[in-house]
Amino acid sequence: MNAGKTCYNGSTVAAGGQADSRFGDQILSVLTAAGRPAPERWRGERAPVRCPLPSHGSEDRHPSAWIDVSIGCFGCSACGVRYGAKKLAEALGVPWPPPHGTYTPQPSPKQGKTDTPPDFTPAEAQRTWNLALARARDDDAVEADRPVYDYIQKRGVADAWEDCYFGIVPPNRDDRLPWQVRWWGPRGWRVVLPLYAMDGDNAGKIVAVQARHIDFPPRGNRKRLLFPKGSHIRKTAFANRRALAMLDRATDAKRVIVVEGMFDFLTAALAHDDLPVLGAPGAGQTKNVIGTWARGREVVLAPHPDDAGMKQLPYAIAAVQRMGGRAFVAHVQRREARVA
């Protein structure tokens, strides 16, 4: 049973409950007494602030500290500290208790910004995919993109090039790309695959993309897998030609293979080009791949044999059964490129 979280003021917030507002009052009052403005950008009960500690040294132009008013906590990632309100007051030389303030976790009306990025639209996804695919089909770029092809060869899916399953974003800025992905290039090569809608009016159409960095492990703070900011990937999947025909109701295939992840999809798609193959863009998305297309079909689920894949498997099986399909479980043999 989740007993809740311990506050830095010594009390406990019950699971699902809210903290006493005085915790927020105290931490904000300390900052106010130290001559620091109240935070303007909030994510729930947490907000970034410029570090006021003398030990921080230079001015904290890009906020590296934060406060959490639900537990009365201040922290700074640069200084490596976490203080409750009283300890923060001691560090700043503020009398305890500080003058009373009021916790109002609302963004400033002058801010005019939200933390939610604009949607990455299907049109932007299609444009990204068109440019990435054109790069992969450009004979003049093969030598320049040799690290990508070596990586694909190492993963055992070199034949995916023949079937136009992947595109390439090279390591340079391309202003033709949507702004959400324009920065990918300068940080290294990306292998790009399109994601298709599984249901609704856009079923079988490209609505998002996923990119993978070819460095493994990635250098520095590069993320290995990326979705453009504002992407909506729920009920999307990688799909081979047979699967797209199925979504377009152009085939009556009785068996469909559903795998997890970009390279398991490429492996299964190459090994089973006679069957519809779908790939969830992550373990938690496998159940969302199952749509009305599963009705009356045998759905072979082949998740990763790790904790995340096994944890999501029962939900995927239930989704198939709920849609009127029959669920079977298999696994991907990566070297042999077969679903057993």
CATH number of 138's domain = 3.90.980
pLDDT at 71: 79
Assigned domain for 54 exists? yes
Domain final residue, candidates 168, 199, 233: 233
User: Is the domain of 139 the same as that of 228?
Assistant: yes
Please tell me whether the overall predicted TM-score, pTM, comes out greater than 0.95 for this model.
no
Residue environment code for 246-267, b if the CB has 16+ CB neighbours within 10 A, otherwise e: bbeeeeebeebbbbbbbbbbbb
Q: Answer yes or no: is pLDDT of 118 > 90.
A: no
pLDDT at 112: 45
User: Is the domain of 227 the same as that of 248?
Assistant: no
Assigned domain for 268 exists? yes
> CB within 8 A of 208, min separation 6: which ones?
120, 122, 125, 194, 195, 227, 228, 231, 232, 233, 236
CA distance 181 to 168: 12
**% of the chain with per-residue pLDDT over 70:** 81
Average pLDDT over residues 56-81: 80
Condensed to tens digits (0 to 9), the pLDDT of residues 157-183 reads: 888 888 888 999 998 888 899 988 888
Q: What is the mean pLDDT of the chain?
A: 80
**% of the chain with per-residue pLDDT over 90:** 34
What is the sign, positive or negative, of the torsion defined by CA atoms of 263, 267, 268, 272? Answer: positive
Cβ pair 168, 190 in contact under 8 A: yes
Q: How far is CA 114 from the centre of its chain?
A: 19
Cβ pair 133, 233 in contact under 8 A: no
User: Is the domain of 28 the same as that of 76?
Assistant: yes
Flag the least confident range among 34-38, 149-153, 237-241.
34-38
Q: Answer yes or no: is pLDDT of 135 > 70.
A: yes
User: Is the domain of 279 the same as that of 308?
Assistant: yes
pLDDT at 58: 64
Q: How far is CA 182 from the centre of its chain?
A: 17
Average pLDDT over residues 87-96: 86
